Amino acid sequence: MANKAIFLDRDNTIIEDPGYINNPDQVKLLEGAPEALSSLKALGYKLVVVSNQSGVARGIVTEETLGQIHKRLEQLLAEKGVSLDRIYYCPYHIEGVIPKYRKDSDWRKPNPGMLLAASSDMDIDLRESWMVGDTTNDIEAGARVGCRTIMLAGRTHEQKLQPGAPAPDYKAVNLKEVVNIIKMKSRSAQKPANVLPVEQPTQAIEEKQQEPAPQQQAAPQQAEPEQPIPLPSQPAEHPTTERLLSNILDQIKMMQRHNMFGEFSATRLIAGITQGLVFLCLLASIWFLTSPTKQFNQLLISIGFAILLQLMALTFYVMRGPR
């Protein structure tokens, strides 16, 4: 029986993307990535990284250093209890400065060479597999071999759309939502087919066929309905406004999904508690201000604490912001 796999881009999918990584110390896992990969493993998928690495052709990193970078990636994942099954990369680019790597390649996404090689090496059924990445090159490579595709398009991902490129089957804000999508599709695929209705006995069918069919009566002719009086048309909304409102709505939905599938954070919890204390201090200030004794010293102390706590809450929120 053939295997099924999750093909994953590397940068901005599993690890942070500061640019061209050329040192193992620059490898930093994205928040929640190890846990998500572990969940995908538990679903029975092979985990295969397929990554364009034109930095080799551009002279930014050597293949030897790239190997060390990938060993560091595997080490960080192993510390979290998860492992990759294979890593494929394409070092070639037509505009490279290193002659050895200055050429086009079937392995460079959106070409599907790396996925086809993995399918051959690991006996992978591409129709039962998924391609996950943050660019249309990833999506096109997966679509060209029949994989289902998921584009990462959250606040920490720059969605690079190319004209004419195939649309992803799904979009997700991070790998945690990717797991949720794949689980949902796996459950729907395992549902039993609808049960066919019980066939009628042959004798009953024959008797039914022998019954004379009822004659259909011609429907009486009806008078043609009066033509409705056309109402004055309303001016159509400007397409630019519609597009702007649609983009704003999509962004709000994306932020809601990011919060839904974000990881729990103690910093966020402390920020929320601190914000609640600010509210209590403001209530105390109002009470001191409206009291008959006019306790101005207590009023100033309450306002001071409110300002201090508000600054602390803002600091915690900034610390918890996108990395």
Catalytic site positions: 9, 11
Q: Tokens 């249309």 correspond to what residue?
A: 136
Give the pairing type, strands 148-152 and 170-172.
parallel
Cα angle 184, 188, 190 (rounded to 5 degrees) comes to: 120
The H or E element containing residue 288 is: helix 266-290
Pairing assessment for the beta strands 130-133 and 5-8 based on DSSP bridges: parallel
Q: Token pair of 26, please?
A: 């620059």
List strand residue ranges (DSSP E) for 72-217, in order: 86-90, 130-133, 148-152, 170-172
Q: How far apart are the first and last CA of the chain?
A: 41
DSSP secondary structure code for residue 20 in this structure: S
Best CA proximity match to 69, nearest among 31, 2, 18:
18
- CA angle (140, 144, 145) in 5-degree steps: 130
> Which residue has tokens 């039962």?
128
Question: Torsion over CA of 241, 243, 244 and 249, rounded to 10 degrees?
Answer: 130
Phi then psi for residue 310, to 5 deg, are -65, -40
Taking the C-alpha atoms of 300, 301, 307 and 310 in order, what is their torsion angle to the nearest 10 degrees? -140
How is residue 142 written in tokens? 């997966």
